[in-house]
Amino acid sequence: MYSIQQNIEQVTKQIRTAEHKCGRVPSSVQLLAVSKTKPIEVIKAAIEAGQKAFGENYVQEGVEKAQYFTEHYKNSGLEWHFIGPIQSNKTKPIAENFQWVHSIDRSKIAQRLNDQRPENLPPLQVLIQINISGEESKSGTSESEVFQLAELISSLPNLTLRGLMSIPANVSSYQSQLNAFTKLSAIQSKLADKYTNVDTLSMGMSGDMEAAVEAGSTMVRIGTAIFGARDYTTKS
């Protein structure tokens, strides 16, 4: 049984090794700890190990955690990233409680997050989610619609467009993983040419982070390798 701290050290080492192997600048890839379904106590252990950025998928659960830690860990520089699918009737608590949103996939969601972002908070840092493998079961905009959505987001004062997020089809071969990530990286470069704040490419999870780093990821979203397998049986 490994501790959360050991797991974070191990994952960080894996990221640094992957950066080194492909000649990336050391520490150019950030670790987002995906804490969905995991209790407060486990997140505390990750914070004690130095982790600052956390990703959550479910609105109610994520809001509860973000509020708890915002209240109890003031000025500790924690960041809450919403990375799950967004229903339009759930945008308000997201706009009010998170610093980042990775999963904007349509204009209605962008508009609502902008309108509902409280004026006393800095702009929400946002990524457009692309469905790069075209799987019907996955959310995300199509490649052809990314630039239209980017244009809208860049016109909204309470959102800052930072880049792209994607969850490619789950494939086991390194080369197939690399192919999908390389496609994303090319779209990201075009976006960065057009919009000055674009610097973030959120791709790579526990099973494919090395390929993501090789293709240019700047943020890997890691759940299982840090917190262990998730138990969904207690969730309704």
For ligand PLP, which is the closer residue by CB, 103 or 196?
Answer: 103
CB nearer to ligand PLP: pick between 29 and 34? 34
Q: Which is nearer to ligand PLP, 155 or 224 (CB)?
A: 224
Contact, 79 vs 98, CB < 8 A?
no
Least distance between ligand PLP and beta carbon 86 (Å): 12
**Residue corresponding to tokens 């809208």:** 152
Residues that bind ligand PLP (CB under 6 A): 34, 36, 57, 83, 167, 205-207, 221-225
Q: How far is the CB of 81 from ligand PLP (least distance, A)?
A: 10
Query: Closest residue to ligand PLP, Cβ-based?
Result: 223
CA distances (Å), origin 215, targets 67, 83, 114, 176, 182: 35, 21, 31, 12, 5
With respect to ligand PLP, which residue has the nearer C-beta, 197 or 224? 224
Q: How far is the CB of 201 from ligand PLP (least distance, A)?
A: 13
142's tokens: 């199509």
Query: From its phi and psi, is residue 230 left (phi > 0), alpha (psi between -120 and 50) or beta?
Result: beta
Q: Return the closest-CA partner of residue 193 out of 150, 131, 158, 144.
A: 150
To ligand PLP, the closest distance from the beta carbon of 219 in angstroms equals: 10
